[in-house]
Structure 1
């Protein structure tokens, strides 16, 4: 127990931090390869995987994914692909959004995104945070007209008071 406390004090306040003698490891990921693989698999004119596979893996159809993608890219320029200081293209918006959605839908850790999407742990984590913030911001509170219309549609479909059901209040 005393050894653990002493080691923790040596490392600083958090035991999850790496000691200064252990520098961060740089991995040459080739982000363009990750984007090309993702594009060919799901978004090309004739993708490798059919729409039913896309729906199963992303838990939505491709058109919905692309509408969400467009809204997120428009909302936050973090998702716009940029060049680094050496004029090499960085991660694409598809890579960042795919990593975020897959982590959210499957509950996987950030390091699992590296193999397929070619995105590092810290970038995957940041992509997920920015994606969630963008979605929350885009899906702002409905107006009273929208609420009235939703209640009317719900009533016609046999679901009176459906908004109360959404937030588990009734």
Structure 2
């Protein structure tokens, strides 16, 4: 009927419009009738039952699987898993911790006052909000990524080449700024002291360059694009993986040194308080960290210190 009205010139314009609308509505009804109805399928997951089975398999008095099966599945011993909630893995470093880091890095790499190395890793952000995609997308990465970076510099004085410094430092590569808490190698090797310093610097930085690869190999979640909706949740994921990684190394006997194990069993109440830096003026702290004069002086002192080390130092401590 609608097609007849549209093709017949004897009907008014209003009648033609009404017929056209009716014709379109009839077409929509036919299309809707041909569509397969879609609905979300409910899949019963039985989480409570799964939790009970997990307990029976690994944690009950009569476990189904032996301990080595737990280690194979979860990448850690069951005794280690039961210690995850201990407070010492979640606290911030204090002055005693920093001095131990100084001592170990000087013993292994020859750098006095070294806290570690700093590096970055790009983690793809799958569920990045549309409003933030421009901010977190770089030209060399086609998708939004989060740059994961390690490093803080607490107050912990040390001395090198006769000069006093108030904060430790991290070894970094050339993309980082000339700050008092960052020490970089030399691009132009003009003399033997700089050549030796850069060689030691590159050797020490290999530890952190391998760290992200080890983490991604151990924890599958870090190899995939992050599905979290917030940066804070992604940071917690990474913190969790790093803590678990350090716990596994400790459990496997790869602690910094033998006395580390004695330190682990120490009563937490007898530990020194956390380094007191609250209340200091934030602008003063920023200026101290970004002080290029201190950066240049520290680099010169470290070059002199490394140059005076015995030639067999790396062989003895490799």
Q: TM-score, normalised by structure 2?
A: 0.22
Larger radius of gyration: 2
What TM-score comes out, normalization by structure 1 length? Answer: 0.37
